[in-house]
Amino acid sequence: MTSECLKSFYSISTKLSLSFSYSQCLPSTGGGTTATSKTTTASGSTSTSGSTSTSVDAKFKAHGKQYFGTCGDQNTLSESQVNTIVKADFGQLTPENSMKWDATEPSQNSFSFTGADYLVNYAQTNGKLVRGHTFVWYSQLPSWVSAITSASTLTSVIQNHITTIVTRYKGKVAKYDVCNEIFNEDGTLRSSVFSNLLGNTFVDIAYNAAHAADSSAKLYINDYNLDSVNAKVNGLVSLVNSKRAAGIPIHGIGSQTHLSAGGASGVQAALTQLATAADEVAITELDIASAPASDYVTVVKACLAVSKCVGITVWGVSDKDSWRASSTPLLFDTNFQPKAAYTAILNAL
């Protein structure tokens, strides 16, 4: 898949001391199609490319959860195979890139909603819950925001950005990742234009603005490397507890859960710890290198075991479109066929 990428690199460590480089990319405008074919899945049933006989979303919801979803944008959702799979198998959508700051407000007070509108309209048409992603993030941030030097200016910019978007999608987006990746690995606040000018009060500003624009939306704080009980988990829990005690409307904590193979064993304990600080938690960007069935099942069972875990979002449909394509981390292969991990999840449910 060709892409024009805005890259933010950091090390994502696991208990196995493995790491990889994170790069969230702006998707290509091209979208080739692959001929529909038939194959025999790991369960032994015959499946047409782009569909499965049983919805993992439906089975997950039968256990009292809200959704089992995926991410996408117009470039992927317009692919016929992705469209078929999303409609049949997933109950929730997160915009992969189209709701980030560089996409929605590339220049000050000049908003573009083409991509985000497509995603939200698609979700509404097809009965999918939407998780908005994301407002305050140090990456994919327009240079005009990074260049701000006044705390008061930055405050008004954050308020205007969030208010404009949340108001536009009021009643259409159920949950938002308001702040994304604001912590260092040791649990301290990451250096960014937001923290450098406003300390941790940018958190108050962002969540208050989102809540004022749509009081029914659940507001999340989202981060990576929350896959075991570690310093980052503890730092996040501490900040959320202090902010909630002060009346800041943080409702949920999202664990991205980008894993290396064999890295799922600590997920349940981490979710349990995160759940002590919020009304709900969720796995928000799940992918696992090589897509081991056992690891995927471990993550699904972890969410099932934590009552406050409301849902799982897999970060893409097919390996073809994954930001980690070379590690084949998703539930559907490059020919849009369900892998053994998908079948294992169905069997576990």
Helix (H, G, I), strand (E, B) or coil at 176: strand
Q: In what helix (H) or strand (E) does residue 72 lie, and over which residues does it extend?
A: strand 67-72
Please give the sequence-ordered ranges of beta strands (E in DSSP) within 143-256, or none if there are none. Answer: 175-180, 218-223, 252-255
Residue among 79, 105, 280, 285 flagged as catalytic: 285
Structure tokens at 312: 């799982």
CA distance 236 to 6: 26
Residue among 79, 96, 105, 181 flagged as catalytic: 181
Angle, helices 293-305/267-275, rounded to nearest 10 degrees: 20
> Residue 181 catalytic?
yes
> How far does CA 33 lie from the centroid of its chain?
25
For residue 24, give the nearest of 88, 81, 98, 93 by alpha carbon: 98
> Residue 285 catalytic?
yes
Cβ neighbour number for residue 152 with a 10 Å cutoff: 10
Query: Parallel, antiparallel, or unpaired: how do β-strands 67-72 and 46-48 relate?
Result: unpaired
CA distance 7 to 217: 29
Task: Answer whether 135's CB lies under 8 Å from 176's CB.
Answer: yes
DSSP result, 98-167:
TTSHHHH-SBTTB---HHHHHHHHHHHHTT-EEEEEEEE-SSS--HHHHT---HHHHHHHHHHHHHHHHH
- Tell me the catalytic residues: 181, 285
